[in-house]
Amino acid sequence: MLLKELTELNGVSGNEDEVRAYIKTRALEYADEIKVDPLGNLIVFKKGSSPEYKVMLSAHMDEVGFIVTGHGEDGTVKFKPVGGIDERILLGKKVVVGQKRIPGVIGCKPVHLQTNEEKSNNVKLKSMYIDVGAESKKDVEKLAPLGEVIAFQSKYTEMGEECIKAKALDDRVGCAVLMEMLKGTYSFDLYACFTVQEEVGLRGAEVAAYGVNADIAIVVEGTTCSDVPGVEKYEYSTELGGGAALTIMDRTSYADKKLVDYIYNLAKQHNIAIQFKQTTTGGNDAGKIQLSRSGIKVASISVPCRYIHSPVSVMSKNDFGSVRDIVQCVLNEFSKDQKIIHNIKFGGDVNV
């Protein structure tokens, strides 16, 4: 299964080579042109049959992880996060170091040796280390040199009737959707952009958007899902099983209202499950794409993911299907009538 293969690849921000190579190999048969820009973004171009406009799809290849910052005399590894990670989840987690995937475990001082004060507080990342089985600083420096990247070790697992547990659902779900969209044929020019370094500042998208200079852009993401015990319903960001999640506004972007309304109404017309993301926190590649050049109309469509930025993110296969279906539906409608793209971009009437 595509999602299984994508999520079990490692691609910590700035080190997306493995993911990029996988996608590039599978995109070759559908692409008119493939290029990798100097930052590492993979741009897959499909020439339209009668192109008047350019549509950009964006999904980031990178995932959160860690980087080696030091070594203990006892053979342990000191590390820092790459991207936003809740340090409370880290103790006891399995990781792999570098391309050789050297196995390790995140540890700290044993609980039976902690003071009462230490036991009553969350262990901070600065007190943690990674144990790779080395016996000395000299040994561990060879296994895990400074600057080496570290990824969560986690296997794709199906749960219950429709759920999936995996690492890197943010944003391999988006990558999977874009790969599906490449199989179609369209009247407009399509640029499927698999971006880098989203988790450390939306860096790849800024470069990709400038190069493509699209008329409209759609970002496909994995987003927060907070429908869990201890959270009031009015505090939910999204709900698992509620369908594709449309963003209105977040910390980095304000989606184009006309494009968002068009997507929502199109989903309703085609009986595709859809919901609005109800929080304004976080951000994604839309923040940089929206501000590119003289500005680009942008919308974000996301798969809700519980426990995001962890090795045990959980999503619904039905929600993934809803995101795939609505993105395909939008592209098909654009392809039938490119005037829709014109009207969204320049302010004309847009009807479903």
Catalytic site positions? 198
Distance CA 120, CA 68 (A): 28
Distance CA 232, CA 229 (A): 8
Residue holding tokens 């500042």?
201
23 DSSP 8-state letter = H
Distance CA 277, CA 76 (A): 41
Q: 112 CB contacts (<8 Å, ≥6 apart)?
A: none
Buried b or exposed e, range 122-155, using 16+ CB within 10 angstroms: ebebeebbbbbebeeeeebbebbeeebbbbbbbe
Q: Are 151 and 96 in contact (CB under 8 A)?
A: yes
What is the CA angle 247-253-255, rounded to 5? Answer: 50
Q: For 47, left (φ over 0), alpha (ψ -120 to 50), or beta?
A: beta
Is the dihedral angle over the CA atoms 204, 34, 62, 278 positive or is it negative?
positive
Distance CA 144, CA 141 (A): 5
Distance CA 174, CA 180 (A): 10
